[in-house]
A and B are shown apart, each in its own frame.
Chain A
Amino acid sequence: MPDRSTLLRVEHLRKVYGSSTGDVEAIRDISFSMDAGQLVCIVGPSGCGKTTLLKCLAGLLRPTGGVVEMDGSPVTGPSPAMAVVFQEYGRSLFPWLTVRGNVELPLRHQKLTRAERHTLVADALAAVGLAPVAGSHPWQLSGGMQQRVAIARAIAYQPEVLIMDEPFAAVDAQTRADLEDLVRELHVSRGISVLFVTHDIDESVYLGQRVLVLSQSPTWVQEDLAIDLPPARDQITTRALPRFTELRTHVYDQIQRAKRGQVGSPPAAP
């Protein structure tokens, strides 16, 4: 895609956790870049440092080496251009605030008039289908609805990229399909760039335009796979495509090999 500008650039990212029993290398060397308007999925075996990677990208953790650049400037802390949707919706939403209050909280310190703020909140809640329950508290809602609140909070923040950390790992399969379609819809209708971390292979292939397959820890990018499925996705027809099966088999195979550590040699540690 030649006309698109690079939104997020990650170069030779490395993260080592220091501890009293010795250093643990979580991420060895991750490099990739993401264009504005893309939906990129990151998938890898469990325990491969997906959450570490995401926290480094979101400015919540300081990488040991390498750079993360957003719009050409290095990320050193949480950026207003990014919004994170965490896996544990129950611990990410504030139970003492209403649904509306939760979505509004990150907007309070922005230079917006009260009316602008309310418009953003109402718009975000309508986009995820939660306008009727704006006055309820999160714990009065089902798990899927709570994760919708977290998504509404993220899009009301008007980020350039939405970072999602295994957001649907804790909801049931049907709700999960609905939420996947919601993410696709928001991506298409609002042109939001999405970086979607998951351990679910089907989900990554169904959602993404690109899938980054991570190796086992210490992590590097094992494969950067373009998903050449038609852009209009549907839970039934897309998943029934022979190409979908091919792609998911391919990714599955890659992950199995990653687990067995059979894949090539990692880039030499710097």
Chain B
Amino acid sequence: MTGYPGRVAFPPRRRRLGFRIAASLRHALGLPMLLLVAWGLVATRATSQFFPDPLAISQAFVDTWVGPAFVEDVLPSLYRLGLGVAASIVLGVAAGTVIGLAHWLRELLEPLLEFLRAIPPPVLIPVAMLLLGITDTMKVVVVVSGAVWPILLNTIEGVRATDSVMTETATSFRVTWWERLRFLVLPAASPRIMAGVRQALSVALILMVISEMFASSSGLGYRIAYFQRNYLIAEMWSGILLLGLVGVLLAVAFGLVERRVLRWYHGIREVNRA
């Protein structure tokens, strides 16, 4: 028999990577640069001390965050955030898979889950403080209490929507329970799971900051609140800038992971568009 290698579709070749990176950087940074310049111009004329000029903020940024503060405040924050996100993913995917697979469990839990999801997580901070004290565990619990929902609900939906023909195929070939989970249910749900994780990341960042503002002696949220109370305005702004950067870095890291995990998914969409 002969093969048909000529009819295989391959993704377009990447040409001149350096050029592409330069072009995308120009697009990504062009507008922010413009705004920065505008801000600088306005700040030199303005008299309000609450809006220092960009140079003062960048000076404060370097003075504040480069050095021991990185270890004392940034790393603990990132640690809590990372732990909270990881726990949310594990918990959300595990529980979501179980609930998504068991019809009766889903019907039983759905109203309850809707209620729990509707509670704004910050109101749990006082409760968590009472139960767990002012600890890292408390902050991680608060992060999880908000970040787990998008992952859990998306996983339930994704698992539930597994294609019936694929399920029948797996049944007819007597694929074992574990293999079914590993090669059918989880990959089939992965686009929804990743969408849930993307939402969870931004929720987790918010909750990390809020929980630190409430009750903490370290961390980004604590530090920003501290600067604000002591009228260290440029330092306060630099903390906000750092938070924004953390958010952007998270999104970039997530994008890289997602591209790898969902390569097949994006591939299909590309083929369908062509």
Is B8 on the interface with A (CB-CB < 8 A)?
yes
Among B3, B179, B265, the most chain A Cβ lie within 10 Å of the Cβ of B3
Q: Is the CB of A136 within 8 A of B268?
A: no
Inside 8 A of A108's CB, which chain B residues have their CB?
Answer: 175-176, 179
State A71–B179 Cα separation when bound (angstroms). 28
Inside 8 A of A109's CB, which chain B residues have their CB?
Answer: 174-176, 179
Q: Is the CB of B8 within 8 A of A80?
A: no
Q: Mark B160-186, 1 if CB is under 8 A from A, else 0.
A: 000101101101111110010001100
Inside 8 A of B1's CB, which chain A residues have their CB?
Answer: 126-129
Quick one: given A141-B7, A141-B8, A145-B4, are A86 and B174 in contact (CB under 8 Å)? no
Q: Give the residue name and chain of the A residue nearest to B272 (CB).
A: A139
State A106–B176 Cα separation when bound (angstroms). 9
Chain A min CB distance to B57 (Å): 46
Q: Give the residue name and chain of the A residue nearest to B261 (CB).
A: A96
Chain B min CB distance to A227 (Å): 26
Q: Is the CB of B171 within 8 A of A91?
A: no
Q: Is the CB of B7 within 8 A of A145?
A: yes
Secondary structure class of chain A's binding surface, majority of residues: loop
Chain B min CB distance to A106 (Å): 4
Within 8 A of A (CB), among B7-56: 7-10
State A133–B9 Cα separation when bound (angstroms). 11
State A130–B7 Cα separation when bound (angstroms). 11
Q: Is the CB of B264 within 8 A of A96?
A: yes
Q: Give the residue name and chain of the B residue nearest to A125 (CB).
A: B3
Is B2 on the interface with A (CB-CB < 8 A)?
yes
Q: Give the residue name and chain of the B residue nearest to A159 (CB).
A: B173
Q: Is the CB of B174 within 8 A of A95?
A: no
Is A58 on the interface with B (CB-CB < 8 A)?
yes
Within 8 A of B (CB), among A93-149: 94-97, 105-106, 108-109, 126-133, 136-137, 139-142, 145
Q: Give the residue name and chain of the A residue nearest to B9 (CB).
A: A140
Q: Give the residue name and chain of the B residue nearest to A79 (CB).
A: B174
Chain B min CB distance to A210 (Å): 24
Q: Give the residue name and chain of the A residue nearest to B7 (CB).
A: A142
Inside 8 A of B2's CB, which chain A residues have their CB?
Answer: 129
State A92–B165 Cα separation when bound (angstroms). 6
Q: Is the CB of A94 within 8 A of B4?
A: no
Q: Is the CB of A84 within 8 A of B169?
A: yes
Is B271 on the interface with A (CB-CB < 8 A)?
yes
State A96–B3 Cα separation when bound (angstroms). 22
Within 8 A of B (CB), among A144-173: 145, 153, 157
Is A194 on the interface with B (CB-CB < 8 A)?
no
State A128–B3 Cα separation when bound (angstroms). 9
Q: Is the CB of B173 within 8 A of A129?
A: no
Q: Is the CB of B172 within 8 A of A58?
A: yes
Q: Give the residue name and chain of the A residue nearest to B5 (CB).
A: A132
Q: Is the CB of A94 within 8 A of B8?
A: no
Is A69 on the interface with B (CB-CB < 8 A)?
no
Chain A min CB distance to B186 (Å): 9
Q: Is the CB of B176 within 8 A of A88?
A: no
Q: Give the residue name and chain of the B residue nearest to A108 (CB).
A: B179
Within 8 A of A (CB), among B136-171: 163, 165-166, 168-169, 171
State A94–B179 Cα separation when bound (angstroms). 13
Q: Which of B165, B173, B188, B268 contacts A105 (CB 8 A)?
A: B173
Q: Mark A66-94, 1 if CB is under 8 A from B, else 0.
A: 00000000000010101110101001101
Q: Is the CB of B3 within 8 A of A131?
A: yes
Chain B min CB distance to A53 (Å): 15
Chain B min CB distance to A265 (Å): 35
Inside 8 A of B172's CB, which chain A residues have their CB?
Answer: 58-60, 78, 82-84
Quick one: given A94-B187, A129-B3, A131-B3, are A139 and B174 in contact (CB under 8 Å)? no
State A94–B265 Cα separation when bound (angstroms). 11
Chain A min CB distance to B174 (Å): 5
Quick one: given A91-B163, A105-B183, A129-B3, are A140 and B169 in contact (CB under 8 Å)? no
State A86–B271 Cα separation when bound (angstroms). 22
State A58–B169 Cα separation when bound (angstroms). 11
Q: Is the CB of A139 within 8 A of B268?
A: yes
Closest 9 CB pairs of A and B: A129-B1, A106-B173, A132-B3, A91-B165, A96-B187, A96-B264, A132-B5, A84-B172, A139-B268
Supplied contacts A78-B174, A94-B187, 6 more A-B pairs, CB within 8 Å: A92-B166, A94-B184, A105-B175, A109-B179, A142-B4, A142-B7
A-B contacts, 22 of them at CB < 8 A, read A58-B172, A60-B172, A80-B174, A86-B165, A86-B168, A86-B169, A91-B165, A94-B183, A96-B188, A96-B264, A97-B183, A106-B175, A126-B1, A127-B1, A129-B3, A133-B5, A136-B8, A139-B264, A139-B267, A139-B271, A141-B7, A145-B7
